[in-house]
Structure 1
Amino acid sequence: MTVSVILKTLNEEARIGAAIESVLAALEGIGGEITVADGGSRDRTLAVAENYPVRVVQLEPTISPSCGIGPQLGFQHSREPFICLMDGDMLLDPGFLPEALSYLSANPRAAGVTGHVEEMNQTSLEYVRRGRRAPPENRSGPIDRMNGGGLYRREAVEQAGYLSDRNLHGYEEFDLGMRLRARGWTLHRLDRRFVRHFGHALNAYTLLVRRWKSGYLRGIGELLRGALGKPHWRQLVQDLPELKLWAIVYLWLIAMIALPLALPSPALGLAVDVVLTAGIVGVMSLRQRSLSLGLYAVVAWLFHAAALPLGFFQARKAPEAWIESRIVKDI
């Protein structure tokens, strides 16, 4: 039961060495291979990775990186019957793979199994807010997606067509989960740690702007576009609570625009807009138990809502098509 571990990287020179070492230690007694799938790093990520017994592949410069293209790049170079997917800024828990392999052996219709992602970044508002969520990041048992990665069965992935949709800048795990579950496979989260994740050491608002520029925030729109007309479209809409949130945000924005025009005085309309916005921030601050988190949540909503239509109308490439890349180092 050997494992292909795929490490997705983009400018991870500070973390990739430790990530590889954690995987090498975890593979002892199991066997397998490691593929570093790089999205075009401009730092020393590749130079560091080449010091280890791993395969290193990198996108051709003409191919734009995305969250979805990295896993698929690694998958097309992988060989083993089980695929462990993780990021280059993660450390694999040494006991995860034996327990995960045991679960897949005992549950032949399970396509994948993961564990908890322990967020080590406790300074950025983004990761603090993420750490407070319950579903789907922290829930154990049957799940609909494996956010953060985990161990997949190659047979199931091949039935689903491909590991990751190269067109997606986000929600690639959800898309894979939908395709797997549509074919009768299941996903499971063990009540144990899978990885420690160090994340971006950036101000949350700086990270938000970076994700806007990189296209990351367009992921949900791209996901909807890719599923349009597919058998799992209705299930996808039902399983994405974010869609209801974005609908509410759109209604709020429409009301903000309409109030200055509908009320007797534009100034009165603007005043109502200010009060309404302050009230929404206040409610979110109470829910998050923090004014800064409440404000950040509302700002993030606006960014996501603006990005959704941009992603939906984005042109697509065949997700299963071979990704042009170069092999920097082979095993």
Structure 2
Amino acid sequence: MTDQFAEPSSLGAVIIGRNEGERLVACLASFPQDVRPLVYVDSGSTDGSVAAARAAGATVVDLDMTLPFTAARARNAGFSRLMEEGAPEFVQFIDGDCVLQPGWLPAARMFLIEKPKAAVVCGRRREIHPEASIWNRLCDAEWNTPVGRAKACGGDALMRTAAVREVGGYDPQLIAGEEPELCVRLRAAGWEVWRIDQEMTLHDAAMTRFGQWWKRTRRAGHAFAEGAAMHGAAPEFHWVTETRRAVVWGLLLPLAGVVGSLVTPWAAMVFAAYPLQVLRLWRRMGWERAVFVTLGKLPEAAGVVQYHLNRVLRRRAGLIEYK
């Protein structure tokens, strides 16, 4: 596959992971040999991930685990090593539980070449086993974002290294939502973010329990609140709407229904808003997703409350991991 790229050093990759096992092996194997440097950032694995990465020809960065871990810090560490080893023009960021789809890198690289103002390009991320659980199917549907100019990307994306360096990389303090926050700063600096109609990666969410979905959704609420606190002012209004929806549907309406019922039983009618909301969303996204998008406002609100409580208490937020 060495003829896919005009310059072998023009494209590198940063992979982050911990105890991904065979998923990491598959991730590494999905990269062509001419994508170098290939940097793997490990955050304390005990399953042989480091040895597997080295065997695949990747440079391994052992993240300092005496410091609070965030995926953003891991990506920054990988990016720094990438710049030391070759400073390619483009970098593919990817999580260790994902595999690249054939054709993605040539298409994405060509897109960035043809659009010099584009800093980020992403494609269709799919769940590898959507049939395994409803939670996996919800992930797959969540990632089916509109094609075209976008506001943000997810953890998998091809980026222009000059743009990432210009804005200082990811914010290492964020425990979630670090990619959209980076995109906010990139767009403020005059860069563009795009989603193209191209298969990009397969992801293994491995969610089989309701509790995993709840934690993942709570993490999203935390990211909404923190993102709104950082960039919620005009003209960006970053995640302000998402935070308000979580607070209204996940906190204020339930509170009004419960407290109001102490005064009059008619107050319980407020809970009728939820099935009505499901019916409204059902026409657009189907009943399964409509139910859980509506129900998801409860853990999202919990994440919002968690963020603001930590902020008031000046307490550092811990990771919210679902697997």
Select which of 217, 220, 227 maps to 1:223: 227
CA distance in 1, matches of 2:90, 2:293: 37
Q: Give the structure 1 partner of residue 77 of structure 2.
A: 73
Aligned amino acid, residue 108 of structure 1: P
CA distance in 2, matches of 1:262, 1:274: 16
**8 Å CA contact 2:177, 2:220 repeated in 1:** no
CA distance in 2, matches of 1:237, 1:42: 41
Aligned amino acid, residue 223 of structure 1: G
Matched, 1:310 2:306: yes
Q: Give the structure 2 partner of residue 200 of structure 1.
A: 206
2:243 aligned counterpart, secondary structure:
helix
**8 Å CA contact 1:220, 1:311 repeated in 2:** no
CA distance in 1, matches of 2:197, 2:291: 32
Q: Give the structure 2 partner of residue 297 of structure 1.
A: 293
Relative to 1, partners in 2 of residues 1:34 and 1:243: Cα closer, same or farther, differing over 3 Å? same
Q: Structure 1: any 5+ residue segments left out of the alignment?
A: 318-331
Select which of 158, 173, 187 maps to 1:167: 173
**8 Å CA contact 1:125, 1:296 repeated in 2:** no
Aligned amino acid, residue 308 of structure 1: V
CA distance in 2, matches of 1:120, 1:34: 23
CA distance in 1, matches of 2:51, 2:133: 29
Matched, 1:83 2:87: no
CA distance in 2, matches of 1:16, 1:161: 27
C-alpha deviation, 1:269, in angstroms? 5.2
Q: Give the structure 1 partner of residue 157 of structure 2.
A: 150
CA distance in 2, matches of 1:74, 1:128: 30
**8 Å CA contact 1:156, 1:185 repeated in 2:** yes
**8 Å CA contact 2:227, 2:239 repeated in 1:** no
C-alpha deviation, 1:235, in angstroms? 3.4
Select which of 40, 49, 54 maps to 1:50: 54
C-alpha deviation, 1:108, in angstroms? 1.3
**8 Å CA contact 2:260, 2:268 repeated in 1:** no
1:235 aligned counterpart, secondary structure:
coil
Query: What is the TM-score when the length of structure 2 is the normalising length?
Result: 0.81
1:98-137 paired onto structure 2 within 5 Å: 98-122=106-130, 123-133=132-142, 137=144
Residues 27-71 of structure 1, C-alpha deviation per residue, up to 9 Å, x if partnerless?
A: 43xx42111112333433223223221111122232232332232
Residues 159-198 of structure 1, C-alpha deviation per residue, up to 9 Å, x if partnerless?
A: 2122x11122222111011100001111112211111112
1:50 aligned counterpart, secondary structure:
helix
**8 Å CA contact 1:39, 1:66 repeated in 2:** no
Q: Give the structure 2 partner of residue 10 of structure 1.
A: 18
**8 Å CA contact 2:253, 2:270 repeated in 1:** no
**8 Å CA contact 2:24, 2:97 repeated in 1:** yes
**8 Å CA contact 1:261, 1:269 repeated in 2:** no
Relative to 1, partners in 2 of residues 1:240 and 1:274: Cα closer, same or farther, differing over 3 Å? closer
**8 Å CA contact 1:35, 1:56 repeated in 2:** yes
Matched, 1:189 2:186: no
C-alpha deviation, 1:155, in angstroms? 1.0
**8 Å CA contact 1:167, 1:222 repeated in 2:** no
Aligned amino acid, residue 152 of structure 1: M
Once superposed, which parts of structure 1, at least 4 consecutive aligned residues long, lie more than 6 Å away? none
CA distance in 2, matches of 1:304, 1:132: 18
Q: Give the structure 1 partner of residue 319 of structure 2.
A: none
CA distance in 1, matches of 2:114, 2:289: 42
C-alpha deviation, 1:17, in angstroms? 0.6
The farther-off stretch of 177-186 and 69-78 is 69-78
C-alpha deviation, 1:18, in angstroms? 0.9
Select which of 90, 93, 105 maps to 2:101: 93
Q: Give the structure 2 partner of residue 248 of structure 1.
A: 248
Select which of 13, 24, 34 maps to 2:38: 34
Residues 109-155 of structure 1, C-alpha deviation per residue, up to 9 Å, x if partnerless?
A: 1111121112222133233123334xx74321211111242111111
CA distance in 2, matches of 1:281, 1:226: 31
Q: Structure 2: any 5+ residue segments left out of the alignment?
A: 1-6, 317-323
1:7 aligned counterpart, secondary structure:
strand
CA distance in 2, matches of 1:193, 1:61: 34
Identity, % of aligned positions = 23
**8 Å CA contact 1:121, 1:201 repeated in 2:** no
Aligned amino acid, residue 126 of structure 1: W
Higher relative contact order (CA 8 A, sep 6+): 1
1:234 aligned counterpart, secondary structure:
coil
> How big is the alpha-carbon RMSD for the aligned residues of Structure 1 and Structure 2?
2.8
**8 Å CA contact 2:171, 2:178 repeated in 1:** yes
